[in-house]
Structure 1
Amino acid sequence: MNSTICIEQKFSLNELTGNTISECRFINCDFSHADLTDTVFKNCHFYDDESQTGCDFTHSVLKEARFIGCDLSLCNFRYADAFGIEIRECRAQGADFRSASFMNKITERVWFCSAFIIKSNLSYTNFSKAVLEKCELWENRWTAENVLGASFIGSDLSGGEFNEFDWRSANFTFCDLTGAALGNLTIRDTELDGVKLDMNQAGQLLMDLGIILQG
């Protein structure tokens, strides 16, 4: 499927599974419950400027799905199975990932996560209570993100831009934050156990405590 405009279309369960779709515009389309495993979307638009709405991906299967250079603003991904999803160089402003799953459960107590969300604008996106542990999440814009109760343990958040961001609301232990613009992150009220920082970042955090490093 290439260079197509789809308006208020409901996609059936396996209609797009494994396909590569380029330069398409989806206006108020319904992907809910669709199996989009291994589906690739390149330079597609899922946000409609006129109605200011995104598309519906609730309960969809997005295992190993790839969104490259797409506009996913205000799209609804609630309850989606997003293990192994790739979102690269996209706009996802205001998208809703609450209750989306990025994990593969082996047992109730044994599981692992996989997601590649890279070089994307995630401003105002909702990742409340999301579990994105040991995932590739680098060079994203995280302005005013809702991450209340989320877990990013061990993930690569390097090179990110964090503005109006509440570091206290989620777990960032053992994350790689090197090269990131950390905004209002402070040592006083944020758990930084195992976090990777570069020397400039560490120096700034210590200066906030009144400690000055000598070279």
Structure 2
Amino acid sequence: MTLTLDGEKIDRNRFTGAKVENATFHNCDFSGADLTGSEFIGCTFYDRDSRLGCRFSRAQLKDASFKSCDLSMTDFRNVSALSIEIRECRAQGADFRGASFMNMITSRSWFCSAYITKSNLSYANFSKVVLEKCELWENRWNGAQILGANFSGSDLSGGEFASFDWRAADFTHCDLTNSELGELDVRNVDLQGVKLDSEQASQLMERLGILVIG
């Protein structure tokens, strides 16, 4: 029997460190739950009928893992998510505002850790989120909201960036190779330290009326 929960408030320690496969969670509330080290594989957190996702606000998601899950419309606001894994998931419209992927060493020094790869992040909200030097490759970012976010030094290679406002966030020192860069305009985006492949560089130059030969 696969686990199916509908409209439940999840107790704080119910899934702490657990491995959960192929479960269905419709309109469930994980707010404040301790999911440290928990692993969810092939699970559904989105109710297609109501078009609502589950709520994880203020949850502890350190070292938590979501693989091949449907996280569409999920509320991840204000979660603690150092070293979270989200791999090969659907996360359209998910809300990450206030989420922390950061380990504070002192008040002025920190590092971030997150592994969000091969996932559909279209229309997700990352406003003011700090994801420095993280593994963020081969994602779809179409229409994502990123105002005030910081992706500096992250691996964004192989991504898809349609309807995407490059001016809204910090992408310095990012790896953008093999990505579809959408409307990126080198004239109004700080690309210091950014990695591009030769085909991308040629396309960006062409938009400035510069032809790259060879």
Q: TM-score, normalised by structure 1?
A: 0.98
Q: Distance in 2 between matches of 1:91 and 1:153?
A: 24
Counterpart mapping for 1:97-112 below 5 A: 97-112=96-111
Aligned partner of 1:118 in structure 2 is: 117
Task: Give CA-to-partner distance per residue, 1:22-72, whole Å, 9 cap, x none.
Answer: 000001101000000000000000000111100000000000100000000
SS at match of 1:41: strand
CA distance in 1, matches of 2:8, 2:83: 26
Q: Structure 2: which amino acid aligns with 1:49? A: R
How far apart, in 2, do the equivalents of 1:81 and 1:120 lie? Answer: 20
Structure-1 residue corresponding to 2:57:
58
Report sequence identity in percent.
59
Residues in 2 aligned to 1:67 and 1:198: alpha-carbon distance in whole angstroms: 31
Aligned length, in residue pairs: 214
Q: CA deviation at 1:214?
A: 1.1
Report the 3-state secondary structure (helix = DSSP H, G, I; strand = E; otherwise coil) of the residue aligned with 1:87: strand
Please, which runs of 5 or more residues in structure 1 have no aligned partner? none
* Aligned equivalent of 1:129: 128
Aligned to 1:193: 192
What stretches of structure 1 move > 3 A for 4+ residues in a row?
none
Q: Does 1:11 align with 2:10?
A: yes
Deviation, 1:9, is 1.1
Distance in 1 of aligned mates of 2:196 and 2:8: 46
Task: Provide Cα deviations, 1:134-179, integer angstroms capped at 9, x if missing partner.
Answer: 0000000000000000000000000000000000000000000000
Q: Which residue of 2 aligns with 1:82?
A: 81
Unaligned residue ranges in structure 2 (runs of 5+):
none
The residue that corresponds to 2:171 in the other structure is 172
C-alpha separation between the residues in 2 aligned to 1:44 and 1:99?
24
Shift in Å at residue 107 of structure 1? 1.1
TM-score using structure 2 length: 0.99
Q: Deviations over 1:65-84 (max 9, x none)?
A: 00000000001000000110
Deviation per CA, 1:101-145: give whole Å up to 9, x if none. 000001110100000000000000000000000000000000000
